[in-house]
C-alpha cells in the first residue's frame, strides 16, 4: 500500500493550517497553536503532525521544538489556492492600467511593475515570440544617404524596425508601391509562409519583368522580415528580497542578485518551471535546480498562449514564506488583464 494513501483530508487541513501559521510567524509551529484554531484535541493534532513528519511534509528543527513545513507542504498548500476567484473590480482596474500602457513592450513593463507593487516580491512579465508570427503590415520610409527605415508590425502588435543602406536611390513613391505590394499580398500570412511564397514567385519566368517583386526581394535580402525571435522581458523588485531571512551568506546573497539580474537566467527560469497547460497556474517551491542561491525561493506563475504567435509569461518570485494568497491572486489578475489588453 502507498504510505501516502494513509494521510486523510484532515491531515491536510492540519498541514495547511501549519503552513499558514508558519508564514505569519516564522516560528516552528506547536500542536497547541493549531488546537486553538482547529476543533481537535492537541493529542490528535500531535498524532497527525507525527504522520505528516513521517511522510516528509514537516520537519522538526529540534527535539522539543514545533514543526516547520517542507517544500512538499508548501506545494500542497499552494494547490489549494489555484481555484482562487477573479475579482471583477480588480481585473477592470488592471486592464485599464495596461490599456494605457500602449505598446506590447510597455504593457510587459507595466505588468511586472504591478506584480511587484501588489505582492512586494520579484515580479516578472515576458512576451516570447514563437515561430507562428503573422505579418500585419510593413512601412518603408526613405532617409538621407540612400538609407531606408523598414518597420514591421506583426499581429501580436509588436513593432520592429531596422535601417538599411541600398546601392541605388529609391523614391518615396516607389517605396509606397513596394509597401502596398507586401501589405496587399502578404498581410495576415505567417512569416515562414511569406518566405516560401517569395521564393516561388521569384523562380517564375515572369519575375524577370516584375520590377516591384525584384524590389521586394531586395528588401527581403536586407532582412525585412528577418525579425529574430527576441523575447521582451521585464522584471523588478529584487530589493524586496533584501530584508528576508533566506539563510544566505553575504556571498550567496550577491550570487542571488546576480542571478536575478540576468535576462537569460530569468527566461530559463520561466521556460523550465512554467510548463503547465495554457492558463494553468504553476506553483514551484524551492528553485535550487535553477541556481543554488534560489533554494529558499518560490515561483508562482502562468503561461498564456496568445493569438498570432506570442506567448506570455507572468510570474512572481518570493520567499517560501510569502503571502501565497496575495501572490496567486496577483498573478491570476495581471495575466488575465494582460491577455485582454493585448487582444
Q: What percent of the chain has pLDDT over 90?
A: 16
In a domain, 83, yes or no: no
Range with the poorest average pLDDT among 18-22, 64-68, 185-189, 267-271 = 64-68
**Residue 110 pLDDT > 90:** yes
Rounded to 5 degrees, what angle do the CA atoms 159, 165, 168 make? 125
241 and 336 together in one domain? yes
**What is the length of the chain?**
343
205: containing domain: 135-221
In a domain, 20, yes or no: yes
Q: Please state, in angstroms and rounded to a whole number, the distance separating the CA atoms of residues 337 and 279.
A: 12
In a domain, 241, yes or no: yes
User: pLDDT: is 110 or 227 the higher one?
Assistant: 110
- The SS3 call for residue 173 is helix
Write the pLDDT tens digit of every residue in 218-259. Answer: 887 877 777 655 678 889 888 877 665 566 667 777 888 888
**Residue 4 pLDDT > 60:** no
- The number of C-alpha atoms within 13 Å of 307 and in the hemisphere containing its C-beta is 10
The dihedral formed by the CA atoms of 150, 151, 155 and 159, expressed in degrees to the nearest 10? 130
The mean pLDDT value for 111-121 works out to 93
Q: What is the CATH number for 44?
A: 1.10.10.10
The pLDDT confidence band at residue 109, using thresholds 50, 70 and 90, is very high
User: pLDDT: is 231 or 337 the higher one?
Assistant: 337
Strands of the sheet with 159-165, listed across from one edge = 135-143, 147-154, 159-165
- pLDDT given for residue 64 in this prediction: 66
The pLDDT confidence band at residue 274, using thresholds 50, 70 and 90, is confident
106 and 27 together in one domain? no
- pLDDT given for residue 239 in this prediction: 81
User: How many separate domains does the chain show?
Assistant: 3
The pLDDT confidence band at residue 2, using thresholds 50, 70 and 90, is very low
241 and 321 together in one domain? yes
181 and 304 together in one domain? no
340 with 90: CB under 8 angstroms?
Answer: no
- pLDDT given for residue 287 in this prediction: 84
**Residue 175 pLDDT > 80:** yes
In a domain, 82, yes or no: no
Write the pLDDT tens digit of every residue in 88-105. Answer: 888 899 999 998 887 788
Phi, psi of 319 (to 5 degrees): -70, 160
236 and 153 together in one domain? no
- pLDDT given for residue 262 in this prediction: 84
**Residue 341 pLDDT > 50:** yes
The mean pLDDT value for 103-118 works out to 90
**Cβ neighbour number for residue 164 with a 10 Å cutoff:** 16
**Residue 181 pLDDT > 80:** yes
- pLDDT given for residue 1 in this prediction: 34
The mean pLDDT value for 201-221 works out to 77
Q: Is the Cα torsion angle 161, 159, 281, 285 positive or negative in sign? A: positive
Which residues have a Cβ under 8 Å from the Cβ of 221 and sit 6 or more positions away? none
The mean pLDDT value for 185-198 works out to 84
In a domain, 64, yes or no: yes
- pLDDT given for residue 3 in this prediction: 45
The mean pLDDT value for 275-292 works out to 79
User: pLDDT: is 157 or 220 the higher one?
Assistant: 220
Per DSSP bridges, beta strands 310-319 and 122-129 are antiparallel
- pLDDT given for residue 180 in this prediction: 92
Q: What is the CATH number for 100?
A: 3.30.450.40
The pLDDT confidence band at residue 305, using thresholds 50, 70 and 90, is confident
148 and 212 together in one domain? yes
Task: Work out the mean pLDDT of the chain and round it to a whole number.
Answer: 83
Amino acid at each position: 500500500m502507498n504510505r501516502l494513501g494513509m494521510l486523510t483530508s484532515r491531515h491536510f487541513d492540519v498541514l495547511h493550517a501549519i503552513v499558514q501559521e508558519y508564514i505569519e510567524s516564522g516560528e516552528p509551529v506547536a500542536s497547541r497553536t493549531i488546537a486553538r484554531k482547529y476543533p481537535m484535541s492537541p493529542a490528535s493534532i500531535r498524532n497527525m503532525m507525527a504522520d505528516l513528519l513521517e511522510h516528509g511534509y514537516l520537519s522538526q528543527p529540534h527535539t522539543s521544538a514545533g514543526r516547520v513545513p517542507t517544500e512538499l507542504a508548501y506545494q500542497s498548500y499552494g494547490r489549494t489556492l489555484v481555484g482562487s476567484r477573479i475579482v471583477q473590480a480588480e481585473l477592470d482596474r488592471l486592464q485599464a492600467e495596461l490599456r494605457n500602457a500602449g505598446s506590447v513592450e510597455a504593457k510587459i513593463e507595466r505588468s511586472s511593475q504591478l506584480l511587484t507593487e501588489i505582492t512586494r516580491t520579484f515580479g516578472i512579465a515576458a512576451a516570447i515570440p514563437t515561430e507562428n508570427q503573422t505579418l500585419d503590415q510593413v512601412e518603408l520610409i526613405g532617409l538621407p544617404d540612400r538609407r531606408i527605415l523598414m518597420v514591421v508590425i506583426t499581429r501580436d502588435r509588436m513593432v520592429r524596425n531596422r535601417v538599411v543602406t541600398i546601392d541605388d536611390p529609391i523614391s518615396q513613391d516607389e517605396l509606397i508601391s513596394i509597401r502596398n505590394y507586401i501589405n496587399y499580398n502578404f498581410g495576415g500570412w505567417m512569416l515562414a509562409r511569406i518566405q516560401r511564397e517569395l521564393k516561388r514567385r521569384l523562380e517564375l519566368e515572369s519575375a524577370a519583368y516584375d520590377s516591384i517583386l525584384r524590389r521586394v526581394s531586395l528588401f527581403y535580402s536586407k532582412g525585412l522580415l528577418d525579425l529574430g525571435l527576441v523575447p521582451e522581458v521585464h522584471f523588478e523588485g529584487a530589493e524586496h528580497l533584501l530584508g528576508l531571512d533566506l539563510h544566505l551568506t553575504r556571498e550567496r546573497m550577491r550570487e542571488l542578485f546576480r542571478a536575478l539580474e540576468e535576462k537569460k537566467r530569468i527566461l530559463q527560469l520561466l521556460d523550465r518551471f512554467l510548463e503547465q497547460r495554457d492558463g494553468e497556474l504553476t506553483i514551484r517551491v524551492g528553485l535550487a535546480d535553477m541556481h543554488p542561491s534560489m533554494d529558499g525561493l518560490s515561483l508562482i506563475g502562468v503561461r498564456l498562449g496568445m493569438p498570432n504567435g506570442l506567448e506570455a509569461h507572468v510570474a512572481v518570485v518570493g520567499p517560501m514564506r510569502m503571502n501565497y494568497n496575495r501572490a496567486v491572486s496577483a498573478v491570476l489578475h495581471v495575466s488575465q488583464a494582460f491577455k485582454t489588453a493585448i487582444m
